Amino acid sequence: MSVFAEEARIAERVVAWQARHGRNHLPWQQTRDPYRVWLSEIMLQQTQVSTVLDYYARFLARFPDVTALANAPQDEVMGLWSGLGYYSRARNLHRCAQQVVAEHGGAFPRTAEVLATLPGIGRSTAGAIAAFCFSERVPILDANVRRVLTRLLGFDKDMASAANERLLWGLAESLLPSQDLGYAMPRYTQGLMDLGASICTPRAPRCSACPVMESCQALKDGDAERYPVRTRKLTRRAESWHLAIVRDERGRVWLQRRPPTGIWAGMHCVPVFSDDAACAAFVAGLGDPSQRVLEELPPFVHVLTHRDLHLHPVLISGDVGGGALGEGEWLGQDQWPSVGLPAPIRKLLDATQARLW
Ligand code: SF4
């Protein structure tokens, strides 16, 4: 069989397998509206489908179209995103909606090339939106698809190299369907995603159920788990954060907006200090020392992609002065859902209200 015929058969098999065995009933698969597809693609980055379902429904109920999202206050967008993590996605989501409205008249661009110029839309997400909504013949290469393709092709070059990454994009392009694109492109794109999620898993792939097993180089070599090859490892760092939860006599908590870049950028948070002494100096300036109560809460670790945050919370209540404590504002529990609070801070505040420690 010629190489081209082999490639065509791979695409055909993925398309046919997706129609029979893939995921076809998720809410964002019932539409070709790029606003909805884009929203789901951004939410699905680094987040499980089961978690995204609720958030997706809530977002659409509140922001039914891109104009509604663009016009919303940033705090409200962050508030609705709270708990999904990776908050830069929410900030970019909002900026992207504003750019679609301001520069594209409220209609998403119809090609992957232009979609990829928008905030938060990388090449793979742009490819997915263009394939799903406009049947454009463009590849995607998210983590799942990268795993499937490197195994299928026996592509053992180091994916830490940008040149090798480009090479794989080229190969991914050569495998795309070439006929009946209106039907084939959405199915093929979804099929590769589904294969990576359910069959060609990082550990113990279920090759006997795989539609491309006859063509798979890694299966022939018996070493699927070695792919994708990546030599450079993520370096993790540990950091200690001392959190001052200042609660006034009305139960309100002093919250500050985090800086525009870095961890939890732009979200609301209790005051953060890098060491115990700085936290103690802040606490010393609060109200009348004889009338306030200071409690050290159990420390815990919050794991981020590149960092472990060791969080050391203290709760200061009673007479805490009540006035402004620098930048920030007093917010009661009923206001917390409407501002963006990082999930661990939200949990911590809820626990302090209920005294669950
Ligand atoms: Fe992945 Fe196995 Fe299919 Fe190859 S045959 S693509 S290793 S599931």
Count Cβ atoms within 10 A of the Cβ of residue 104 and give its class: 0-12 exposed, 13-18 middle, 19 or more buried. Answer: middle
| Residue 282 main-chain phi, psi, to 5 deg | -65, -45
- Of 33-37, 83-87, 150-154, the one with minimum mean pLDDT is 83-87
Strand, coil or helix: 55: helix
Quick one: pLDDT band at residue 320, thresholds 50, 70, 90?
Answer: confident
Q: Kind and range of the H or E element at 60?
A: helix 49-62
* Residues comprising the chain, all counted: 357
205 close to ligand 1 (CB < 6 Angstrom)? yes
Residue 145, ligand 1, Cβ within 6 A: no
Bond before 298 cis per omega within 30 degrees = no
- Pocket of ligand 1 contains residue 148 by CB under 6 Å: yes
**What percent of the chain is predicted at pLDDT more than 70?**
97
Residue nearest to ligand 1 atom 5, measured at CA: 213
Query: Please, what is the angle between helix 74-81 and helix 88-104, to 10°?
Result: 130
For residue 293, pLDDT beyond 90: no
Confidence band (pLDDT; 50, 70, 90) for 291? confident
Reduced to 3 states (helix: H, G, I; strand: E, B; else coil), residue 153 is: helix
- Ligand 1: does its nearest atom lie under 6 Å from the Cβ of 159? no
User: What distance in angstroms lies between residue 131's CA and the mean position of ligand 1's atoms?
Assistant: 23
User: How many other CB atoms are there within 10 angstroms of residue 24's CB atom?
Assistant: 13
Is the sign of the CA dihedral 48, 64, 72, 109 positive or negative? positive
Predicted confidence band of residue 357 (pLDDT cuts 50, 70, 90): very low
Q: In CATH, what class is 3-226?
A: mainly alpha
Q: What is the pLDDT of residues 213-268, one digit of tens each?
A: 999 999 999 999 999 998 876 677 899 999 999 998 888 999 999 988 889 988 89
Q: What is the pLDDT of residue 266?
A: 85
Evaluate: CB of 153 within 6 angstroms of ligand 1: no
Mean pLDDT, rounded, for 295-315: 90
Selected residue with higher pLDDT from 171 and 303: 171
Q: Is 79 a residue whose pLDDT tops 70?
A: yes
Task: Tell if the pTM clears 0.85, that is, is over it.
Answer: no
CA of 192 to the centre of ligand 1 (A): 11
DSSP string, 25-46: -SGGGS---HHHHHHHHHHHTT
3 alpha carbon to ligand 1 midpoint, in Å?
19
Give the mean pLDDT of 70-81.
Answer: 92
For a substitution probing ligand 1, which of 198, 210, 215 has the most ligand atoms within 8 Å of its CB? 210
Q: Do domains 3-226 and 238-354 have the same CATH topology?
A: no
> What does the domain layout of the chain look like in residue ranges?
3-226, 238-354
- Which top CATH class is 238-354? alpha beta
Whether the per-residue pLDDT at 285 is higher than 90: the answer is no
